[in-house]
Amino acid sequence: MPIVTFDDITVAGALGKDRTLGGGVVHRRLPDWTRPQIPDVAYGLMVTMPAGVRLEFVTDATRVELDVLITRLQVNDRVALPASFDLVIDGDVVSSVSSTEGTLILFDAFTESAEFQAGEVTTIAFDLPAVGPRLIEVWLPHNAVADLRAIGVNDGALIEQPSRDRRRWVHHGSSISHCLEAERPSETWPAIVARRADVDLLDLGFGGQCMLDQFVARTIRDEPADVISLKIGINVVNGDTMRERAFVPALHGFLDTIREGHPSTPIALVTPIICPVAEDHPGPTIPTPEGPIRIVERRRSLAFGALTLQRIRSLITEVVEARRAAGDENLHLMDGLALFGPDDVAELPDGLHPSAEGYRWMGDRFHALAFDGSGPFTQPS
C-alpha cells in the first residue's frame, strides 16, 4: 500500500517522539526537553503510552493500515487489556480494532521486578466506505506503547492535513485521568469529554505520576491552551510524597508557573475522587495479592503532617479561595466527589481506579460541570 508520512498528517496530543531501532516512531506526551527531568522508568513508560493521541487527516481512502509494534503492561496477575485503536470519522467512533500481539512487560508490584516477553509487529487495518473525502482520526491505544512502523492507504487515495479551528483543552492528572482500565482510547473520560465538547485534547494524565512536577507545569505554561484542568492529590497520598508543609506551596508554585504563560486562561482545579481507604488515613497505599489497595500502617509519630484525601480537598479549597482573593477570577474549584463519589464505589474494583463504566460516568459528569450551562469552560456566546 502507498505509505503515508507523518508530514502528510497531524499527530494531535503528542509533544515529542522517539525514533526506534526498528525504524518506527513512538510518540511522547511530554516535550523532548523534559527527558532528563523525568525521575524514573515508570514515569517514562507512562509518557510513551499515547492516551489522547490521535492521527488526523482528510482522506477518501477505503482502507487504512498501521504497521505497529505494540508493548503492553501487565501488573501482577491482572491480565493486560488488549491494545485498541479507534477509528473516528467526522467525530463519530465507527470502528475499533484490538490486539494482544506484540511485546508484554510483566511487572511485579510487590518486588518491583520486570520481565519482557518480546513480540512482533502487527498490522491494524480499517476498511472505510467509499463516500469521498472526510476527516479521519485514529486514536492510538491509551494503555500500551505504539511503535508505528508504517501508515498506508489504498492506491490513489487522497491524503491532506486537516484544517480545524477548535479550542484546546490541556488536562493533567494521575492514573484516574490516564484511565488504563478504560476499554478503548476513545472511552477514557478525557476523550469522552473532548469529543462531546469538540475540543482539541492534550491529555497529560500519567499513571502514578501526578506530583506537581515543575517540568509538567512548564510544559502547560508553554503550550497553547484555551482551557486547562488539573486533577491533583491522589498520587501525593498514594506515594506519601509530601507533607502538608510542602504540598501547599508546591501547589501554589505549580499554578504560578502555569499563569506565567496563561495569565487569564480558565483553570479548573479538581479535587480527588473517592478512595475509601485513604479518605481519613494518610498513605502510602500499596496493592495486595487480592486486588484492592491497602494503607501502610505506621507509628503515629511518623504521620505528623501527612496527608489524607479529606485534608487535601480542604487545602486545595483554601488555595483556590486565597488565589481568588488575590484576583484570579479564572481559577475554578471542582469537587472530585461530584465526578465520582461515595455512591459510586461499586464501580471502584481495586478501591482506587474506576471501572470502564465508572470512567464513562466521569466523562458525562465532567462535561456537564465544565462545558455545559454556566460551567467554567462554556464557550462564550
Question: What integer is the mean pLDDT of 277-292?
Answer: 83
Task: Report residue 9: phi and psi, to 5°.
Answer: -130, 175
% helix, strand, coil for the chain, step of 5: 30, 30, 40
Give every CB contact of residue 288 below 8 A, 6+ residues apart in sequence.
294
Domain extents in the chain = 3-160, 168-371
Q: Measured between alpha carbons, how far is 144 from 104 in angstroms, rounded to an integer?
A: 9
Q: Measured between alpha carbons, how far is 190 from 177 in angstroms, rounded to an integer?
A: 7
Query: Which of 9-13, 26-30, 283-287 is least confident?
Result: 283-287
Q: Which residue has the higher pLDDT, 51 or 164?
A: 51
CA nearest to 178, candidates 225, 223, 234:
234
Note whether 3-160 and 168-371 share their fold. no
Q: Given a cut of 60, is residue 301 above it in pLDDT?
A: no
Question: What integer is the mean pLDDT of 37-41?
Answer: 93
Residue 19: predicted pLDDT: 94
Residue 20: predicted pLDDT: 93
Q: Are 297 and 234 in contact (CB under 8 A)?
A: no
DSSP 55-120: EEEEE--SEEEEEEEEEEEEETTSPPPPEEEEEEETTEEEEEEEE--SEEEEEETTTTEEEEE---
Q: What does each C-alpha distance from 327 to 238, 250, 320, 331 come to in angstroms?
A: 33, 20, 11, 9
Residue 299: predicted pLDDT: 67
CA angle 232, 294, 71 (to 5 degrees): 65
Q: Are 59 and 164 in contact (CB under 8 A)?
A: no
Q: Given a cut of 80, is residue 113 above it in pLDDT?
A: no
Count the neighbouring beta carbons within 10 Å of the beta carbon of residue 194.
Answer: 26
Average pLDDT of the chain? 93
DSSP 296-360: PP--GGG-TTB--HHHHHHHHHHHHHHHHHTT-TTEEEE-HHHHS-GGGGGG-TTSSS--HHHHH
Question: What integer is the mean pLDDT of 30-39?
Answer: 96
Whether omega before 284 lies within 30 degrees of 0, making that bond cis, reads yes
> How does pLDDT run across 338-365, given as a tens digit for each residue?
999 999 999 999 999 999 999 999 999 9
Handedness of CA 234, 317, 328, 245 (dihedral sign): negative
Task: Report residue 142: phi and psi, to 5°.
Answer: -80, -20
Q: Name the DSSP class of 286.
A: E
CA angle 78, 80, 83 (to 5 degrees): 160
pTM for the predicted model, two decimal places: 0.95
Do the strands 134-139 and 54-59 form a parallel or antiparallel pair, or are they unpaired?
antiparallel
Span 3-160: which CATH code? 2.60.120.260
> How does pLDDT run across 222-260, given as a tens digit for each residue?
999 999 999 999 999 999 999 999 999 999 999 999 999
CA nearest to 211, candidates 162, 175, 261:
175
Q: 295: pLDDT confidence band, cut at 50, 70 and 90?
A: confident
Q: Given a cut of 80, is residue 304 above it in pLDDT?
A: no
- Which residues on adjacent β-strands are paired with residue 4? 151
Span 168-371: which CATH code? 3.40.50.1110
Q: 302: pLDDT confidence band, cut at 50, 70 and 90?
A: low
Residue 381: predicted pLDDT: 60
